[in-house]
Amino acid sequence: MGLYIYVMGGSDGTKAVNSTRRAMILNPREVPQLDVDDIVPAANGLDAGYWFYRVATTFDVTDTDNPLGESLASDEFIVKVPVFPGKKIQVVLKWAAPVDSLGVALPHVSGYRVYRTAAVNGSSGQEVLLTTTAAGTLTYTDDATLTPGVANPLPLGSTGKWATLPNLNTARKGAAGAAAFDPTVAGQFYVYDLLGLDATNTALTSYEYLTVTTGANEHQTVVGNWDDWREVGRRGYWSLSAGRLGRGCDNGQDHHGTHHLRIRRWRFGRGRHRGEGSAGWQGPDWRRPWRLVDTPSDFNNTIAGYGVCSANGQLFTFGGLQATPSAGAKFCSSRQDLQSSCAPSGS
Query: Does residue 148 belong to any structural domain of this protein?
Result: no
Query: Does residue 205 belong to any structural domain of this protein?
Result: yes
- Of the three residues 142, 158, 181, the one that is the final residue of a domain is 142
Q: Estimate to the nearest angstrom the gap between the alpha carbon of 270 and the chain centroid.
A: 24
Q: Is 94 helix (H, G, I), strand (E, B) or coil?
A: strand
pLDDT at residue 177 tops 60: yes
Q: 334: closest CA among 251, 277, 271?
A: 251
Residues 334 and 207 in one domain: yes
CB 196 within 8 Å of CB 176 = yes
Query: In the 3-class helix/strand/coil scheme, how is 189-236 assigned residue by residue?
Result: EEEEEECCECCCCCECCCEEEEEEEECCCCCEEEEEEEEEECCCCCCC
Q: Phi, psi at residue 334, to the nearest 5°? A: -70, -20
DSSP code of 68?
A: T
pTM for this entry? 0.77
Percent of the residues in the chain that have a pLDDT greater than 90, as a whole number: 57
- pLDDT (0 to 100) of residue 308: 64
What confidence category does residue 117 fall into, taking pLDDT thresholds of 50, 70 and 90?
A: very high
Q: What is the pLDDT of residues 214-230, one digit of tens each?
A: 999 999 999 999 998 76
Interatomic CA distance for residues 247 and 37, integer angstroms: 58
Mean pLDDT of 20-38: 96
Residues 331 and 185 in one domain: yes
- Of the three residues 109, 142, 175, the one that is the final residue of a domain is 142
Query: Does residue 159 belong to any structural domain of this protein?
Result: no
Query: Does residue 178 belong to any structural domain of this protein?
Result: yes
Residues 103 and 134 in one domain: yes
Query: Does residue 248 belong to any structural domain of this protein?
Result: yes
Q: What is the pLDDT of residues 60-92, one digit of tens each?
A: 999 999 999 999 999 999 999 999 898 999 999
Q: Domain range spanning residue 333?
A: 4-24+166-344
